[in-house]
Structure 1
Amino acid sequence: MTDPAGTRARLEAERAEVLERLALLRADLEGFRAASERDNADDEHDPEGATIAFERSQVAALLREGERRLGDLDAALEREAAGTYGVCERCGRPIPAARLEVRPAARTCVTCA
């Protein structure tokens, strides 16, 4: 990209957002665990809606995705520090700025993706 300082700031801002989202998801997950320990009701057959187990599973999946995203952003920050950010890891050509706008942690150009 043409603005390394702006790139780093954007990656760090997105990383901060992901960390905030992860903290909220972890709190939700802990709340589900605490609720299931306090209440031994049979929520598996509750006709009122989703079960605690289902909700816990959904939050756990979002948490895994967030952790993966955090890893991608950390890798992008490492590439930025090394001077290889915006260079396709497969073909070595520049990754178009439009792709990096949409996917700031992209490792490959559109052709190689």
Structure 2
Amino acid sequence: MSNYIIYTTEEFDKDYTKLDSSLMSQIKKEIDQLKTNPYVGKPLGYKFFREKKIKNYRIYYLIYEEYVVVFVIALSDKKTQQKAIDTVKHLIPVYKDMIKKRLNL
């Protein structure tokens, strides 16, 4: 099985860089694990939409098997979890277009 390519959104990158270095390191380790097994996270209504919990935070990501890509979309705490999930679900077609553009498809 091929390793998945990891992409992140600007929103995720912005939130990620605000975290302390210890938490950043843990999140990076979890994201690196998605390269070989993206289905480890909890499914959120679709097989391809998942969340991974790290301490009090959650990362949300979409898996595109056809492109061998994991797209890390957002980072939230428990308080804003439902809002983040609803936003990602609403924008699933937009995120797919973003990946296609990044892959020049």
The normalised TM-score by structure 1 is 0.28
The normalised TM-score by structure 2 is 0.29
Which structure shows the bigger proportion of residues in helix conformation?
1
* Greater C-alpha Rg: 1
Which structure shows the bigger proportion of residues in strand conformation?
2
